[in-house]
Every structure is written in structure tokens, then in C-alpha cells.
Amino acid sequence: MKLTLDTLYKDHDNLRSILCLLERLLIDIVRGSSNSSQLLQQILVYIQDYPARIHHPAEFAVFSAIAKNGGKHGKFHEDVHTLMQDHAEIEIITTDAIATIEPLLTGTQPDIANIGVTLPTLINRERSHLLFEEIHIYPYIAVHLHDEDWEKISALVPDYEDPVFGDPVRKEYEPIFRALQPGL
């Protein structure tokens, strides 16, 4: 898949869908009706893996291209610095969320109060992060990168498909894909 700003937006839209599903599962847990612990774990692994392995390196390639093109806008560079800190903090929050749901996977009594804090923290932080990028970072990218820049960047970024939303859906993520498809 060729990297473009639209590709980055699409990744955000996909993650927002995942976050909505995660929120529905959280509500089920809090209401005592959840039997989706495996799905919950798969979602958290996806949230941890895909951005760190694919999306964030693609963004970093974009930021590097802007720097090489002479992008000297101080506010943009401050925002990118904030973004990089967010990436690291969200990674920690995601790891904490995975640890928090571990009792669900082993059949032991989970700490619902802890789950009720950790998962909303992750959901809200991810949503805030995506919004920050789309308000402060992506408009700058749209103005400062042109088709030839995107071609160069795409050559540096490995070709990829989203494991949930790509074609084909990776086998380990099929339950998430099915949960996102009404009527399946």
C-alpha cells in the first residue's frame, strides 16, 4: 500500500472503530455480562502492535522528510516532540491495560475497578492523541509535502496492510474483524 496522508487518516479511522469496540467490551465487563476476554486481549495486542510496528514508523518517515525538506516551523517540531512523547506514554498505558485484563484470561476474578480505570484511560488517551495529530500535525503535512515527497517516503516505508482492515485479514485478528461487522 502506498503511503499517503489519506492512508494515515484511514489508520486513524480504523483505530477509532477499534476503540469503539473496546469501549463496548468495557461496558459489558462493568455490567457483568462479558464473555469476550479473548477478543479484548486481541484488541489490546492490536492497539499495541500495529501502531508501534507500522503506523508510527510511517509517521516518523513523514516527519523526517519534512525536516529534510527544510521544514523549520518551530510549532510543528514542538508538536512532533509532543507526539513522540505521546507514543511512548500510550505504549505504557497499553501494556498496563494488557496486564489489567490478565485475570479475565485465566478465569480468576478481575479487579473491575482497575479495569474501569485502565481501559477508559487508554481509550481516552488514544482518542485525544488521534485528534491532536489531525488538528496540529496532519494539516502541516498536507501543506508541506507534495506527490514527489510521498513517493520518496513510500519507498522508505515497507509495504503493509492493516492486519484487521487489510486484505486479507490476518487469521489471529479475524475475531476483531467479525466483531466490527454487524450481522456476521
pLDDT-derived band at 174, boundaries 50, 70, 90: very high
Query: Which three three-digit cell numbers place residue 117?
Result: 480505570
- Measured distance CA(133)–CA(136) in Å, rounded: 5
pLDDT-derived band at 98, boundaries 50, 70, 90: very high
**What pLDDT, on the 0 to 100 scale, is given for residue 2?**
76
Q: What domain count does the chain have? A: 1
- Measured distance CA(19)–CA(47) in Å, rounded: 9
Residue 173 near residue 163, CB atoms below 8 Å? yes
Quick one: CA dihedral 142, 84, 68, 159, positive or negative?
negative
- Measured distance CA(113)–CA(68) in Å, rounded: 47
**What pLDDT, on the 0 to 100 scale, is given for residue 72?**
65
**What pLDDT, on the 0 to 100 scale, is given for residue 183?**
60
Domain region containing 58: 5-66+73-180
CATH of the domain at 79: 1.20.120.520
- Measured distance CA(40)–CA(165) in Å, rounded: 17
pTM, rounded to two decimals: 0.91
The rounded mean pLDDT for the chain is 89
Query: Which three three-digit cell numbers place residue 177?
Result: 474483524
- Measured distance CA(36)–CA(48) in Å, rounded: 18
pLDDT digits (tens, 9 = 90+) for 21-79: 999 999 988 888 777 888 999 999 999 999 888 898 899 899 888 877 665 678 888 88
Residue length of the chain: 184
Which run of H or of E encompasses 12?
Answer: helix 5-31
pLDDT digits (tens, 9 = 90+) for 135-164: 999 999 999 899 999 998 988 888 778 999
Residue 3 near residue 152, CB atoms below 8 Å? no
95-107 average pLDDT score: 89
The conformational region for residue 135 under phi > 0 = left, psi -120 to 50 = alpha, else beta, is alpha
